[in-house]
Structure 1
Amino acid sequence: MDRLNMRNRPLQIGILGAANIARNFIAGVAPSKMLTVAAVASRDPAKAEAFARETGVPRFHGSYEALLADREIDAVYIPLPNSLHAEWAIRAAESGKPILCEKPLAVTGKEGRRMFAAARANNVPLVEAYPYLAQVQTAKLRKMIATGAIGKVKLIRSSFGITSVDPANIRLSPSLGGGALLDAGSYAMSLIRIVAGERPARVQATASFAANGVDLTTIANIAFPSGLLAQLSCSFETGYHRHALIGGDGGVIETNFLNHPPASGPAILQVKRGIAFGAAFEPLDVPDGNGFLREAESFAASLSNGPVQWTGASEAESLDILDSLDAIRASAQTGAWVELSE
């Protein structure tokens, strides 16, 4: 599509859904001069109206179809349950709307490919929302890896855990794409893929499952063509933790790759240069900031000035993440290694 002309007005974003994450997104992007949330949609008109009034959104629609038909909406943000991402991203693409879709992009790699195919067919951008990727913390991490600050990366450990045991929570619904792997695990896998810079070759996993079949804790070993090895862990059964360790042959990096510091805690990015036993970690100064705001402004900039402005996952990275999650899920059923196709 032609780049959007945002010189005269902010990008007008419509939101499909009225869940808590949509409320947090609206609050996060409120200070922006580059974009504004212009409308929200729910399949319940009364809910849409109440949500719009509560959050200060000027317009509401009683169906997702109505929002996609709204000619004043430039682009859409999709924070729907995981199982609905593919359907509504495709329908948004068919309506000519650029799409910022919450992670995980889809439930499976097959769905993700259908989404990108629809976006290409309708000449609209589609990107996956990982707020931490828009943070300065992550930009500095990428630069250190690219410039060899710790030498050649040999090992990555990435872990994300929370407590989520309420059976009414959509995170635990098998029909809505629930489970620790698709939720917290998608974050851990995205960090691994972005640091590795390549598609995994094979994975091996084990998991504990709820009675309804969704995974509550999953641990995976991941092998890459270059010889790099990684470990992923994610859980709905632990206290909150979010941590990654990246080991190279010339040093170590640690980070908590947060979405929204300081609201979620202080951003941590520290590097140990060299391989000496007593070498100390050097903490790096990274500014705080709301990840929704940084991510949404990156999205807006990419629509007006080209995709080079997008700081998040590329199409290849998003698909590799989904394929890796597919393979981990398959391996967790048997414990056997699962190969990823090229």
Structure 2
Amino acid sequence: MSDPAPLRIGILGAANIARAFCRGVAGSPLVEVAAVASRTPDKAGAFAAECAIPRAHGSYQALLADPEIEAVYIPLPNHLHAEWAIRAAEAGKHVLCEKPVAIGGAEAQAMFDAARAHGVQLVEAYPYMAQPQTLRLRALIAQGAVGRVQMVSASFGFAFCAPDGTVLRDPDDIRLDPARGGGALLDAGTYSMSLIRIATGERPARVHAVGRTGPSGVDLTVAATLCFPSGAIAQLGCSMATAGHRHATITGDLGVIETSYGNHAPQGAATLPLRVKRGAANPVPFEELTVPATDGFRAEAESFARMIRLGPQHWSGASEAESVDVALALEAIALSAREDRWVTLPSAE
């Protein structure tokens, strides 16, 4: 079967991650970045020229009114995701929204409700979920390769600040602004929580977290313990004041999986690591799986395009339930860290 016609996507915003997205999808037969919008015509025009995008709009609303645009990619600051995803749905555009999908579970649910009401698709963008590494991970868990998942540990951090909060990179970065949804938890922690949700397959029942806050008021480092209805327990770590690291261990009663849950292939590499121990006994060795890797932006965008053209079964990323559960969990973790207490989440329906 031949590939469907390319999905014409417009980008809301000219953030650096939007540049990486454009590079990733360049040359794709399934995705065409047809327009970009920014808050000023000059900024939109400069971004369009830089990324070889045919049309530029001087406002987000103008892009939503563009009849040639079928879908939008939202790389806006976290606090704007809900507003513009809902506006896009109301304009009849499908939505690929950067993680975190929203700040809190109520916002996330409102976004998905709006998409349903207007007959469009809304999904949360996690490049790592489109990688063969994560697709294989999901399959292994579903096949019972490690038995029933009992423990999960997932951590992701990078050196954006020093441990005392001194900024090592751009002091104007939105990750330093609490009013715009900054901080480690809504950046790196979103990845850790989403991996934990994949591994357990359910919403946490309660969480307890501790964190360290920087001078601007955003969380620099957060660690959390999560308890699940099934009895599984998870530990989440995230930081923007540590050496770069990204790893997770999923332990069942019959085996173990280790993953780097990477967004993209490392420079010069064609694979991402995935290690599996099939058996409960200590002497059972780990199997090193060879899993191909690709550009995560391209993989997720092409999966999104196939979903729109061919049906929801072609989407390889987060489901609505996963996205809402992650938003609720992150909200509860933030509250727990602020108030130093266990926080109970609403039960899943």
TM-score, length basis structure 1: 0.96
Q: Match for residue 156 of structure 1?
A: 152
Distance 1:8 1:169, change over 3 A: closer
State the distance in 2 between where 1:31 and 1:203 align. 44
Equivalent of 2:55, from 56, 59, 71?
A: 59
CA RMSD of aligned residues (A): 1.4
Structure 1 gap ranges (5+): 1-5
Q: Match for residue 292 of structure 2?
A: 287
1:4-23 matches, cutoff 5 A: 9-23=5-19
State the distance in 2 between where 1:326 and 1:164 align. 23
1:185 partner amino acid = G
Q: Deviations over 1:1-53 (max 9, x none)?
A: xxxxx977311100000111000001101121011100001001111111111
Q: Deviations over 1:46-87 (max 9, x none)?
A: 111111111111111111011000000010000001011011
State the distance in 2 between where 1:31 and 1:144 align. 32
Q: Does 1:193 align with 2:189?
A: no
Q: Match for residue 3 of structure 1?
A: none
Q: Match for residue 75 of structure 1?
A: 71
Q: Deviations over 1:124-179 (max 9, x none)?
A: 11100001111110111011111111111110000000112343211111111001
Q: Match for residue 337 of structure 1?
A: 342
State the distance in 2 between where 1:32 and 1:22 align. 16
Structure 2 gap ranges (5+): 162-169
Equivalent of 2:223, from 219, 223, 227?
A: 219
Q: Does 1:311 align with 2:316?
A: yes
Q: Match for residue 252 of structure 2?
A: 248
TM-score, length basis structure 2: 0.94
Distance 1:235 1:8, change over 3 A: closer
User: Per the alignment, in what secondary structure is the counterpart of residue 112 of structure 2?
Assistant: helix
For these two proteins, the number of residue pairs brought into alignment is 337
State the distance in 1 between where 2:139 and 2:5 align. 33
Q: Does 1:183 align with 2:187?
A: yes
CA contact (8 A) 1:262 1:289 kept: no
Distance 1:148 1:214, change over 3 A: same
Equivalent of 1:202, from 185, 201, 206?
A: 206
Q: Match for residue 97 of structure 2?
A: 101
Report sequence identity in percent.
60
Q: Match for residue 176 of structure 2?
A: 172
1:113 partner amino acid = Q
1:220 partner amino acid = A
CA contact (8 A) 2:157 2:244 kept: yes
State the distance in 2 between where 1:261 and 1:110 align. 34
Q: Match for residue 32 of structure 1?
A: 28
Equivalent of 1:322, from 298, 305, 327?
A: 327
Q: Match for residue 277 of structure 1?
A: 282
State the distance in 1 between where 2:280 and 2:171 align. 47
Distance 1:262 1:7, change over 3 A: closer
State the distance in 2 between where 1:293 and 1:199 align. 29
Equivalent of 1:233, from 233, 237, 244?
A: 237
1:125-164 matches, cutoff 5 A: 125-164=121-160
Distance 1:93 1:264, change over 3 A: farther
CA contact (8 A) 1:164 1:171 kept: no
Runs of 4+ off more than 2 Å: 6-9, 262-266, 275-280
